[in-house]
Amino acid sequence: MTGKKFTVLDLLNLELSGYDALDLKCIAGRRGLPRAITVPEINRPGLALSGFLESFAGNRVQLFGRGEAAFLQRLLKEKNIESIKNFFTQDMPCCVFTYNLEPTEDFRQIAEDNCCPVLQTPLSSTEFSNRIIRVFSNQFAPHQILHGVLVEVYGIGIILNGHSGVGKSETALELVERGHRLVADDIVEIRCVNGNTILGRGANTMISHHMEIRGLGIINISQLYGVGAIRDQKEVQLVVQLEDWDSAKAYDRLGSEQKYKELLGVKVPVIEVPVRPGRNLPIIIEAAAMNERLKNMGYNSAKDFNENVLKWIETGDAKTVYNSNDDSY
């Protein structure tokens, strides 16, 4: 993760809902909420509580489930709090108790003395682990800001690139009119998740679904076309480069050579679409999206065309057609 550090307080303040919600609250050690979370992993501290601190992953979020909570109760009965004191000598970001479990009073007090946040969630240990790993995967993912428009066309996430004024927003507006969805206009933030997936969203979620149309001004897509015309984020699966028509440039007419653009180390297919009066860009982009879906399903139109031409030549039909042509005038 680059830029601003991610703290325990940031973790508590994340606006998550549904299957991503962590439902965390702080029950002790509030003075330590500014502690930074530097590692996108969690640790079960059973051995550390017993006093074995060698190779202890103290830089991770410490997860306390039913087993760890039962062990703390045992330490309380045995009046053995030295292990807990030694545990808190490690500079850990925070401790999280699942199942709404309560730490012992000794544990809570030592956490307060060491300014270590203690959090609580009603989720099970397994469910919380799955959710917080997803959160960390997003928060710590490499990210980058792009100038362009991100739309979803037939389920394919497409970034429209091109110089200012080439018609990116107008093309995206026509796609929305045809039933597709806008993710972000003008400023797109992309993140590399799991090392091979590029997720895109608006860099500013408050204005990402607004669009600037020259001569018209700022419009709100969700208000004009409804919430079905927008989505918050989408995987980037295709880049469409819009550029002014250049008669001297040889554009790909077969599509047999796939070009790629590297985004955060991931190669994403890219196509160049020349812009000039009379070309219906939305229909071209729709066809590109459907063609990309076919490629993902294992069918390549250009490859199939080449194979059919070769078969036609091999059967001798091409020679028959050539010889039958009358070139006399």
Asked if 20 is an active-site residue, the reply is no
Choosing from 85, 147, 163, 279, the catalytic residue is 147
What residue type is assigned to position 102 of the chain? Answer: E
Tokens of 39: 């590692």
Q: What residues contact 89, with CB distance under 8 A and at least 6 apart?
A: none
Asked if 168 is an active-site residue, the reply is yes
Cβ pair 297, 289 in contact under 8 A: no
What residue type is assigned to position 277 of the chain? Answer: P
Instruction: Tell me which residue has tokens 């600037």.
Output: 212
Choosing from 35, 131, 168, 201, the catalytic residue is 168
Cβ pair 192, 241 in contact under 8 A: no
Choosing from 4, 79, 253, 276, the catalytic residue is 253
Choosing from 180, 186, 210, 234, the catalytic residue is 186
Instruction: Tell me which residue has tokens 């996108």.
Output: 40
CA dihedral of 255, 256, 261, 262, whole degrees rounded to 10: 160
The radius of gyration of the chain from alpha carbons, rounded to an integer in Å, stands at 28
Asked if 163 is an active-site residue, the reply is no
Asked if 253 is an active-site residue, the reply is yes
Where residue 255 falls (left for φ over 0; alpha for ψ -120 to 50; beta otherwise) is: left
Residues serving a catalytic function are 147, 168, 186, 253
